[in-house]
Amino acid sequence: MKETQLLRILIKERAIVRLLKTIGAADYPTRELLNKLGAYGYGHKLLVRAEHIGLVQRKVNKNKVFNKLTPDGKKVVALAKKIGV
């Protein structure tokens, strides 16, 4: 993903940036992640949107869906920390 697209995500999708920071380097099951965020309905929509953009990878293991940052998601988190968002 280009730097300009990453900056656009930082500006327009601040809630997704918060979601990505919460995921961090760990693999979170969806329920635990949404519980930690405190937003079930809206949080799940953000999670699906982040997957569609290509920032989060979701995989099913038995009956749980685990969420992990992609390399582009890690770039967004690093850029957000660098500029203080």
Q: What are the 10-residue block averages of pLDDT along the chain, 85 residues in total? A: 80 88 86 86 89 92 91 90 84
Tokens of 3: 């730097």
Confidence at residue 71, expressed as pLDDT on a 0 to 100 scale: 92
Sign of CA dihedral 22, 28, 33, 36: negative
Tokens of 11: 């500006």
Classify residue 25 by its DSSP letter. T
Confidence at residue 8, expressed as pLDDT on a 0 to 100 scale: 84
Strands, DSSP E only, in the chain? 28-29, 56-61, 64-69
Domains of the chain, earliest start first: 3-80 (1.10.10.10)
